[in-house]
Structure 1
Amino acid sequence: MFSIIQAAGWPIWPLLLCSVVALALVIERFTSLRTSRVAPPRLLDEVLGVTSQHVPTPDMVNRLAENSVLGQVLASGLRAATAEPNIAEDKLRLVFELAGRRAVHQLERYLNTLGTIATAAPLLGLLGTVVGMIEIFGSQAPGGSNPTLLAHGISIALYNTAFGLIIAIPTLMFYRYFRGRVEEYVLELEQSSDRLLGQLLRFTTP
């Protein structure tokens, strides 16, 4: 591997940095976007069961907010209903929407960076190709070409192009995968908020 890096020249170092950052972000997103940390399967049913008779206590709401991203969204509506028993439907819906936006921002964390790496890696590889071509043309002296410089230029051109694609292809696949997961979670957050909203409105006075 070290010999390949040496043969690829200096343009490969930005690509190596991109590969390390992309791998770290993929691992982080796999950890953060687990179902247990975003939307546990039975959490909504448990919250609806508790709120079927009365609004939960502040301690229960705080524990709910610490449970998951979905718990944070549901807890925001419960806090609003507790703080203002006569809250209007539009205002309560706005509370859920603002909490949902914060949740979406949290779910989409680092995805733009991952998408940027997927886009930039082939361009960095192309930069290495151009540098390699410059090395090749530079080896063409009037008295004959320099085989060493010619081989070095070919190595820079080919290795950087290949390495850029090796980074970009899986990074783009993971980016699309995580984007799809986020969209599924957003839909689930919206549906859960609507169900809890309808139940909380029963405790408000007209």
Structure 2
Amino acid sequence: MFDLIKSGGWLMLPIILCSIGAMAIIGERFWTLRKSKILPPDLVPQIWKLSREGKLDASALRSLKMSSPLGAVLAAGLANSRHGRDIMRTSIEEVGRQIVHELEKFLNTLGTIASITPLLGLLGTVVGMIKVFTAIMMHGVGDPTILAGGISEALITTAAGLSVAIPSLIFHRYFERLVDEYVLNMEEEALRLIDVLHGEREEA
């Protein structure tokens, strides 16, 4: 394996660093974007229970805010419920923007890795081919072993770049879709909360 990496030339180093970064981001996002952590299934029934019992005080709202991203969004609405529907919606939207920013953390970096690693591979291909043509100019085409180094460098860096870029792009799209679904679900719950508190919808 080390010989293969060595054969790819110095451009294998940034490609390897990109692969390590991509794996770290993918693992972190899988752990952070668990549905049970973002949208706890028992959270909304717990809120309605506390509301019926008159226990939605400042302490309960603080606990709700710290529990999950959905809890933070709903806590913002509940904290401003006495100020009317428009203020509730505004406060929910403000917190929602912060939550979306947190959910999309590192995704831009992962997308950048997916974009630059094929270019690094292409650059490795160009460097390898330059070495091939330089060897041809100096030694001719009689000895194929002279050309092998440049050709192998060109192929290895291209393959390495694509090997990092393809899974990075797949997971980048997957996490973006996952975040969109979470945001949609939080928006639905927030709107339902507003409607219920203002008597425009029955509690589910």
The two structures have a TM-score, normalised by structure 1, of: 0.90
In the alignment, does 2:90 pair up with 1:94? yes
Residue aligning to 2:123: 127
Cα gap change, 1:186 to 1:113, in 2 (>3 Å) = same
How many residue pairs get matched? Answer: 198
Select which of 166, 187, 190 maps to 1:190.
Answer: 187
1:180 to partner: Cα distance: 1.0
Amino acid at match of 1:90: D
Residue aligning to 1:115: 111
1:79 to partner: Cα distance: 2.0
User: Which structure 1 residue ranges, 5 or more long, are not aligned?
Assistant: none
1:91 to partner: Cα distance: 1.4
Residue aligning to 1:175: 172
Residue aligning to 2:162: 165
Which range moves more in the overlay, 59-68 or 140-149?
140-149
Residue aligning to 2:202: none
For the Cα contact (< 8 Å) 2:78–2:88, is it kept in 1? no
Over the residues paired in the alignment, what is the CA RMSD in angstroms?
1.6
> What's the % identity of the aligned pairs?
46
The two structures have a TM-score, normalised by structure 2, of: 0.91
Amino acid at match of 2:108: N
C-alpha distance in 1, partners of 2:156/2:45?
A: 54
Amino acid at match of 1:173: I
User: Which structure 2 residue ranges, 5 or more long, are not aligned?
Assistant: 200-204
Cα gap change, 1:186 to 1:143, in 2 (>3 Å) = closer
Residue aligning to 1:45: 45
Amino acid at match of 1:96: I
Residue aligning to 1:140: 136
1:19 to partner: Cα distance: 0.1
Residue aligning to 1:105: 101
C-alpha distance in 1, partners of 2:140/2:165?
A: 38
For the Cα contact (< 8 Å) 1:121–1:168, is it kept in 2? yes
Give a deviation string over 1:130-182, Cα, whole Å, max 9, x none: 00011101101355246454111011100000001110111111111111110
For the Cα contact (< 8 Å) 1:132–1:155, is it kept in 2? yes
Give a deviation string over 1:66-117, Cα, whole Å, max 9, x none: 1111111111112223xxx3x1211111011111111111111111111111
Residue aligning to 2:69: 69
1:51 to partner: Cα distance: 1.9
Amino acid at match of 1:126: L
